[in-house]
Amino acid sequence: MKRELEYFSIDGAVGGNQEWFKNVVMYIGGCAAATACDCCIYLALRMGMTQLYPFDIRHLTRQDYIDFSMKMKPYLRPRVNGVNKLYMFTDGFGKYLSDAGERRLRMEELPGTCSYRQAEEFIRQHIDSGYPVPYLMLRHKKARYKDFVWHWFLCYGYEQREDGLWVTVATYGEKSVFPLRELWDTGYEERGGLIGFCGNAVR
């Protein structure tokens, strides 16, 4: 079984790209804000929550995305240790949603200490409901995930294979596909986790 949400592109990139940011602090540590920006664009495009994106949703541009990231910065500001706790994202993004007048959407957290089966079910449930899943990974022992260390990214698809669930993720303007079991089992005690959206969206 395979499910992939209808994502979006900006100037040929899959979603937005943190490397576009001109602000040095955001370029280095703006992954949480970038993930929130991507969520807003997706929700505006696919769920009718147009008030979440303050630019032309019918004409996505790199410059508007950069400008949008600076609007998101105060809510999910980069800091010394990064936005390294799930509640920092739900608190910050929740404040943005409230300020934007969106009160239909709720968020729930799944800590990285939960089992692989719980993570699998969480991702299936939210993507089947039409929502992408923000994913925080802190550290990982496998070198192939070096670009995802201490990083927020967005999961927007999954495929059930013989060896388990594989997930489709977007970050840095690119699409990647990974085995969730390996991605989830980082080899470290300090872990990130997942954010799920729930609400009565207009499709």
Residue 65 has pLDDT above 90, yes or no: yes
pLDDT band per the 50, 70, 90 thresholds, residue 78: confident
Task: Give the list of residues 6+ apart from residue 89 with CB closer than 8 angstroms, or none.
Answer: 32, 35, 36, 76, 83, 134, 136, 152, 195
Which pLDDT score is estimated for 14? 97
Look up the CATH number of the domain holding residue 45: 3.90.70.30
Output the average pLDDT for the chain. 95
Report the number of distinct structural domains present in the chain.
1
2-38 burial code (b ≥16 CB/10 A, e <16): eeebebbebeebbbbbbebbeeeebeebbbbbbbbbb
pLDDT in tens, 113-151: 999 999 999 999 999 999 999 999 999 999 999 999 999
Query: What one-character-per-residue DSSP string does 95-145 give?
Result: HHHHHTT--SEEEEEEETTS-HHHHHHHHHHHHHTT--EEEEE---SSGGG
Residue 203 has pLDDT above 80, yes or no: no
Q: Domain of residue 97: give its range.
A: 2-199
Question: Whole-model pTM?
Answer: 0.95
